[in-house]
Structure formats: structure tokens, C-alpha cells
Amino acid sequence: MLDSPGYFRDKDNEHKRRPMTHPSFEFTHALCRLPATSVTDGLRASDHGDPDPVAFAAEHAAYISALRGAGCVVNVLPADEAFPDSVFIEDPALVLTGTAIVLRPGAASRLGEAAALRPALLENMNDVIDLTTDGYVDGGDILCTDDRVLLGLSARTNGQGAEDLRSIVESLGYTLEVLQTPPEILHFKTESSLLDRQTVLATPALAGSGAFKGLKVLETAIGEEAAANAIRVNAHVFLSAGYPKTAEMLDGAGYSVRILNTSQAALVDGGLSCMSLRYSR
């Protein structure tokens, strides 16, 4: 049923909801998809070689174990060989207050991922809304605080997609802030992550863009910009291996840091945030 311009609901008589009162980094559940062997055909901005499917599977298993260790019930979907990048499950959907929003990824080879993911969203989420737009929105361009959705325009997310998403976000009680990601950055969350209710981790370049108005910003160490794609999961901050200065800075700031290897995901422009949809019931 068409609920209002731009999206469909699966449930009738919905009313405007407010964001959950618990912090936006607290999760009870996560949804992941196993990496396909076709991940060797995954998209990448620069070619540094193909990921090894066996090594990628081992990294992914450790990632799932870390999510479970942080207190999440993790539902793992089978690999989808038709979509090489489908392990990056965050890009075709956004979850707010237990409601999944089916997005429209901005890479042509990934457009079908949203429809392929939808049945699992219906099974695992409280509600599912389909974004209807001729524009594009990638989940990797969205950073959520307790009451704001920061969306960075990029090569994968455009203005029309952002504006068509606005009414959905507002119906769930959030404010949508549309920002401009510097053109050399693939996704907004490639260089930023939420650490707590008032603090983000970001690269110096993104921190200097003015995107984080009203928030405290901790900057990654020089030369460790890739560390910015971290995730806070309950009591822990997951950080990719290989960035000791940033890890030391976060530890000194009082965060419980968990180091995970993401070297295979990085070969196809992936990182910690994009390999799970984290949510609370």
C-alpha cells in the first residue's frame, strides 16, 4: 500500500514514531551474508589484486564471532553468487528502530541486491519499507546518531535518492541531514563512524568538511585514514587491524577496542560497517 509519496509500507495504520531511547550503538541483533566465491569479481576503486575467497570466509567468520561476543544474535544468510558484493549487506538497506528501509544501491551491478535481500528483511525486522525512487542511496553513505540520519552524497548516493528517503526517515522520528562527501571518498562511512552518542571517529579530511556539526570528532592518525571505518557495537569499538596509533588513541579515550582483520574485504572496497545490518528488537 502506498503510505505517502516515495515509499510503501508492509503494515497498515502506522503512525509517526520516535527514535528509541537507548543509544544508537546498542544492538541486540545483526544480519550478515556469507561472502560468495564470486567476490573476486567485486567492485573496487583501485585494483590491488583479488580477494582470496577462503581467507575472506575466515575473516568473515571472525567478524561474526566478534558480533556475537559483543552481545548480538547474528542471523547469517547464505552466500549469493549472483552478486559478488552481496557480503556488504549494509549497502542495500537501512535499519531504524527495527524498521528496514530497502534502498537503491548506486552501482549498476548491485541494483538487484535490494530485491534479493528483501525476503530476509521481512523475516527478521519489525517492518519493511521500500524506497521508491529513480535516484540512488547506498547504506554506506548513512551514519545514524540517536536522532539524526547523516547522509553523504557520493558517487553511489545522489540528491534525488536522498530527498525521496527524507519522508521515510522523518516518519520514524529522525531528522535527515544531507551532506556532501568529498569526491575522493567512496562512501561517507568509508571515513567516519559513530563512537558514542556525541562522538564520531573521522579522517582529518572529512572532519574538516563541516559534516559533524554539534558532535565531538576524534581524528584518525595521519596515514591511518582507513581506520575511520570502525563500528561501535554495544561496549566495544571494532577497528580494522593495521592502525596502531588510532587504536592507541581510542584506548586512551576510554573505548574498549576490538581489532579485526579486514584485509580481504579492503581489496573490494569493503570494511567493518558494511558487512552487517545491526539493529535492536
- The continuous run of DSSP H or E covering 122 comes out as helix 113-124
Sign of CA dihedral 48, 49, 54, 56: positive
Q: What is the 3-state secondary structure (H, E, C) of 47-65?
A: CCCCCCHHHHHHHHHHHHH
What is the distance between the alpha carbons of residues 82 and 147, in angstroms, rounded to a whole number?
Answer: 36
What residues form the annotated binding site?
43, 85, 90-91, 110, 156, 268
Q: In terms of C-beta density within 10 A (0-12 exposed, 13-18 middle, 19 or more buried), how is residue 112 classed?
A: middle
What is the distance between the alpha carbons of residues 162 and 122, in angstroms, rounded to a whole number?
Answer: 23
Partners of 218 in the beta sheet? 201
What residues form the annotated binding site for substrate?
43, 85, 90-91, 110, 156, 268
Q: For the chain, report the end-to-end CA distance as a whole number of angstroms.
A: 24
Residue numbers annotated as active site: 187, 274
What is the distance between the alpha carbons of residues 150 and 155, in angstroms, rounded to a whole number?
Answer: 16
